[in-house]
Amino acid sequence: MTPRSIFLGLLGAAVVCGTCFFNDWVLRQTYLVGNNMPAALYGTLILVCLVLNPIIRQHALTGKELALIMALTLAGAAVPGGGLVRTLIPSLVMPYHIEKTSPRWREEHIVQDVPPSTLVDVSTDEDRVVNGYVQGLGEADRHIRPSQVPWQAWGPPLCRWLPIAMTLWIGLIGLSVAMHQQWSRHEHLPYPIAMFTDAILPEEGSCVPRLFRERLFWIGTGVVFCIHLNNYAYTWFPELLIQIPTSFDFRPLGQLFPVFVRGGGNALLNPHIYIIIIGIAYFIPSDVAFSFGIGPFLWYLIMGALAVYGINLAAPVDGTSYFALQPQSFALFGANIGVIAVVLFTGRRFYTAVARRAVGLSTPDQVWDGAVLGFRVFLVASLLLVTELRMLGIQTVFAVPYVLFMVMGFVVLSRVIAETGLIYLKCYFWPCAVLWGLLGAQTLGAHQILLMMLVSTVLFIDPREALMPFMTNSLKVLETRGVKVDRAAGWCVVALVIGLAVAVPVTLYIKYDMGSAAGDSWSTVTVPQVAFDNAIMIRQKLRSQGLSADAELSFAERLGAIAPNGTCVLMTVAGLALVLAFSAARLRFTWWPLHPLLFVTWASTPLRLMGVSYLIGWAVKTGIARYGGSHTYNRMKPLMLGLIAGEVLGALFPTLFGAIYYFITNIQPKMFNVIPG
């Protein structure tokens, strides 16, 4: 762990946080982060090993140094996008703007129902703070000065929300360290993303990785890169070039499968082929790849069969938008409970030993001290997070399960990515909606639901770039390269602080300079609106039933008022039962074809997009292993790693070219997306 690797890693975190919003919503290129394997970061790593290291041969960065640099940069990458800042900033200011055009909001005084300092301070200059954010303060090509941003209005809410985010992140880093030994050394999870990272790092005593000397690697990389280079050039010169298809339209075949189409499966008949997924599928267990490939087809068949009886699992039974009570969300929530139960059961001896050591009890099992320290950090951070939510106004009886459900979501997310390499995934349940569905609106009260939904819009509404999956893969690479994991985790906390110090002011400046139109409508309108809309619906529904919308109930009264939604409970039990049943079958029967992680993902957008690619990857791997044997399978590994590298570089090049083009011409470049996110 050298000083220059720490400096470069922290610098990498700062650069990502400083350029992410500009790349995503000004240049509108492939997301700089956007998923759990950011093309910009991994592509840059390849270029460093391929170009920079041979140039500075005597001072080349070693594999250990690059592993730490990537770990710190990835930690910072959790800050600027969906991990926090993308939803944090609009959520603190846009409610005031939406209130002006929403009579229901004004009648209910819903914005005034949140605690002071939760939103921006508009008491001094609302026009500048709110309208300046929406419309922008810049004029034509004249940019505003940093001093023109109303920083003072943002101070109170940022001082309230950023400590909450940091507490959550520190707890997740501690939990990542605590669980790492069990996942890596005891269960030997495949870690496909970490495996690829390690493969493109140089070995000890060399400035370039051994993989770069493999001809098959460069064949795979070159072919895929050229496909994307050609298709990117086609967006600029469609009259001169021919696009190489990466999407295929089989929707006319839907006439042969009306039940499948009725369930919404038409999108699967127009698949986009993600070559990176084909490469990743080669390195994971075949049952996982097959399950992820067949999963969305099974889901839409079930949806179509139920549609005959007028049952739509995607239609909300109450509420609206993201936090609505959707049956499929509760099925996924139940599946998450099942996965966390299996994870804890599988590692029960290790986790029990760590927990006992963490609270000062003895244990006969040898446990790594870093795991004990990590779990202690997690416990302290969890208690502090509950306290912070309590200070926000959420009662302890709700804050505790809220934190547990949120942490469970991040753990399962990390487990799925470590076991399957699914580069694009997020949780499709929300703790606020879960508590609403399982306890009932009367038990919680509209005010408590509003506060929990507000927390969800900031911390949990779209964790496609979550910290814990980044940490899980980074710790594996660090361990493989012989870097002290616990010390590196401490520096990741520093990277997060630096990332916040850069991402928040840079994003605010661009917003006030160019206006919120520079951002995406989803984070600018949908996210800030969803919590308040649902709170108003709950208030009005309770009043229509003759109930108090915000009654202060004792704990005993809340227990007596519990009225769970039957559909939500049923779907939760169904998701849990499926995971447990398939886990047991997988252990009992060696021929069992489906993996239980299927039920965490099969109703999600990521598998709808990438399921066909997983199915192709499974078929390629199965064919090579069956007809070529283990020798041919191992020989083809460099080619598959090349497919991954080619897709990453194919996404990076348009981003670099687009930035250069914009700074030279001041014209927005052509949009071109390669990797989902």
Can you spell out the DSSP letters for 19-36? HHHHIIIII--S-SS-SS
pLDDT in tens, 228-262: 999 999 999 999 999 999 999 998 988 889 999 99
The SS3 call for residue 142 is strand
Reported confidence tier of residue 213, pLDDT bands at 50, 70, 90: very high
Flag whether pLDDT at 560 surpasses 80. no
CB 95 within 8 A of CB 506: no
pLDDT, greater one: 448 or 547? 448
> Per-residue pLDDT averaged across 349-359, rounded?
94
Reported confidence tier of residue 550, pLDDT bands at 50, 70, 90: low
Q: Which amino acid is at 136?
A: G
Tell me the domain boundaries of the chain: 245-302+605-629
Flag whether pLDDT at 554 surpasses 90. no
% of the chain at pLDDT higher than 90 = 79
What confidence score (pLDDT) does residue 661 get? 93
Could you tell me the sign of the dihedral formed by the alpha carbons of 205, 207, 211, 212, in that order? negative
Mean pLDDT, all residues of the chain: 93
The number of residues in the chain equals 677
Could you tell me the sign of the dihedral formed by the alpha carbons of 513, 519, 525, 529, in that order? negative
What confidence score (pLDDT) does residue 631 get? 93
Which residues, other chains included, contact 542 with Cβ-Cβ below 8 Å and sequence gap of 6+? 441, 442, 446, 548, 549
Flag whether pLDDT at 464 surpasses 90. no
Q: Alpha carbon 231 to chain centroid distance?
A: 28
What confidence score (pLDDT) does residue 555 get? 64
The Cα–Cα gap between 266 and 58 comes to 56
Residue with tokens 């886990």: 583
pLDDT in tens, 378-430: 999 999 999 999 999 999 999 999 999 999 999 999 999 999 999 999 889 99
Nearest to 169 by CA among 455, 419, 468: 468
CB 212 within 8 A of CB 49: yes
The SS3 call for residue 247 is strand
Flag whether pLDDT at 11 surpasses 90. yes
Reported confidence tier of residue 25, pLDDT bands at 50, 70, 90: confident
pTM: 0.95
Flag whether pLDDT at 353 surpasses 80. yes
- What are the φ/ψ torsions at residue 132 (nearest 5 degrees)? -65, -35
Flag whether pLDDT at 214 surpasses 90. yes
Reported confidence tier of residue 196, pLDDT bands at 50, 70, 90: very high
Flag whether pLDDT at 547 surpasses 80. no
DSSP string, 220-236: HHHHHHHHHHHHHHHHH
What confidence score (pLDDT) does residue 205 get? 82
CB 265 within 8 A of CB 297: yes
Residue with tokens 């969906």: 82
What confidence score (pLDDT) does residue 521 get? 84
> Per-residue pLDDT averaged across 106-111, rounded?
92
pLDDT in tens, 113-170: 999 899 999 988 889 999 999 988 888 678 899 999 999 999 999 999 999 999 999 9
Residue with tokens 């990835």: 74
pLDDT in tens, 88-108: 999 999 999 999 989 999 999
Q: What are the Cα distances from residue 399, in Å, to 88, 296, 379?
A: 20, 34, 15
pLDDT in tens, 283-313: 999 999 999 999 999 999 999 999 989 899 9
**CA end-to-end span of the chain:** 32
Low-confidence winner among 28-37, 332-341, 530-539 (lowest mean pLDDT): 28-37
CB 584 within 8 A of CB 594: no
The Cα–Cα gap between 43 and 102 comes to 45
> Per-residue pLDDT averaged across 617-622, rounded?
96
Could you tell me the sign of the dihedral formed by the alpha carbons of 652, 657, 662, 667, in that order? negative
**Buried b / exposed e across 163-195, counting CB within 10 Å, b at 16+?**
ebbbbbbbbbbbbbbbbbbbbbeeeebbbbbbb
pLDDT in tens, 633-665: 999 999 999 999 999 999 999 999 999 999 999
What confidence score (pLDDT) does residue 517 get? 63
